[in-house]
Structure formats: C-alpha cells, structure tokens
Amino acid sequence: MAKKVYQGETNDKERSKQKLINAVGEVLKTKGYAGLTATNISKTAGLSRRLITMYFDSLDDLIETYVRNKDYWTEASGDFSKIIEEKKSLNSKEIIESLLQNQLHYFYNSTEMQKLILWEISEKSKIMYEVCEDRERLGSKIFELADEQYKNKDIRAVTALLVAGIYYMVLHAKSTDTLFCGIDINEPEGMKRIKNAIRLVLEIL
C-alpha cells in the first residue's frame, strides 16, 4: 500500500513557492523580461499575487531566486568541471572548443536564456549584474587553464568575440527570417558551418 503524502502547511508552501519560481520562467519565455510583473507571474502560477511577498522578500527576490536556481551559464558550459576532467589529456583548445560548442547548442535551444541575454543588454539591473559577475567567475577558471598555452595570444579577447557572435547569431536567427552573411543557423547546414568556424578560429589561433 502506497504511503500517503502529508498535505500539510509546509508542503503547500513549498509547492506554491516552486509554482511561482516556475512561473517566472514561463513568463520570461512568452513575454520577455518586461513581462515579469507580479500580476503576470501569479496568474501563470494560478496563485494569489500576495503569496509573492509572503514567500519572498519582493518580486525582485523571486526573480533572482529563479535565475540563480536555473544556473544557465553552468548548464550552457556543459558542466565545465566534468568536461575538463574528461578531457584532461587534451590541450586547452579542445576544452574551450567543447565549451563553446555546448554554449551554441544550449543557447540556441533555450528560449529562457535568450530572453535573459536580451534583458542583460537592454537595461541595468541588480539581478543581471550579479549574474554577470557569477559568469565572469566561471570564465576565469577556464581561462586560467588556457592562458599558459596561449601565452602570446589573447585567447580571452578571441573567446569574447566568439561568445558574442554566438549570442547575436542565435538571437538574429530566432527573431528574423533573413540570412546572416548568407547563413541560416535554423537549418542544419548553417549550424554546421558555424560550428566548423568556431573550430577553425581556435585552430588558427
């Protein structure tokens, strides 16, 4: 006989909190960062908006909780600690290439992360500032491995251009029906060309 789950006040609170956190992601996907209002989030969660301030310090606290729990950049890197361990016999180029390829794949398929990047570059906010700082700390660990190999070459600047290119090409592909430099990454052949280009740039460097 299955054990009956206690439906008490604590369980109800935790379920409601999670519904609100999940609702932030749904609103972000459908309405963008400008749609992250208490009304939209509570309506999507199917809960009273007063629960936002009851369970979280503020609306910003709820949104920050969602962003931090989601941890997009660790997911986008493909768990770089695991990659480094698996590829420790390889050099920095293979590690950085793997991370960039993972980021391209994840960013292309994550509507929520696309909306977060648009938010990041559209307006200043405490939440996104702290998220950017976390991302920089993550990146610094990767570059510590690469700096030794690329002593006289600015691997950080090259990677910055590649990441920025990934962001722009994906956002462009998702928002328009036009080509970019004759390439459509919504098509498998176009995506393949960009992946090959990432590899080529690192090989040349």
Note the pTM of the prediction, 2 decimals: 0.78
Instruction: Return the pLDDT at 10.
Output: 57
- Distance CA(105)–CA(139), nearest Å, equals 18
Rg (CA), the chain: 20
| pLDDT greater at residue 187 or residue 178 | 187
Q: Which CATH architecture has domain 9-70?
A: Orthogonal Bundle (1.10)
pLDDT score, position 5: 46
Residue 146 pLDDT > 70: yes
Domain boundaries, the chain: 9-70, 72-204
Q: What is the pLDDT of residues 86-104, one digit of tens each?
A: 555 557 778 888 888 988 9
pLDDT for the residue 130:
81
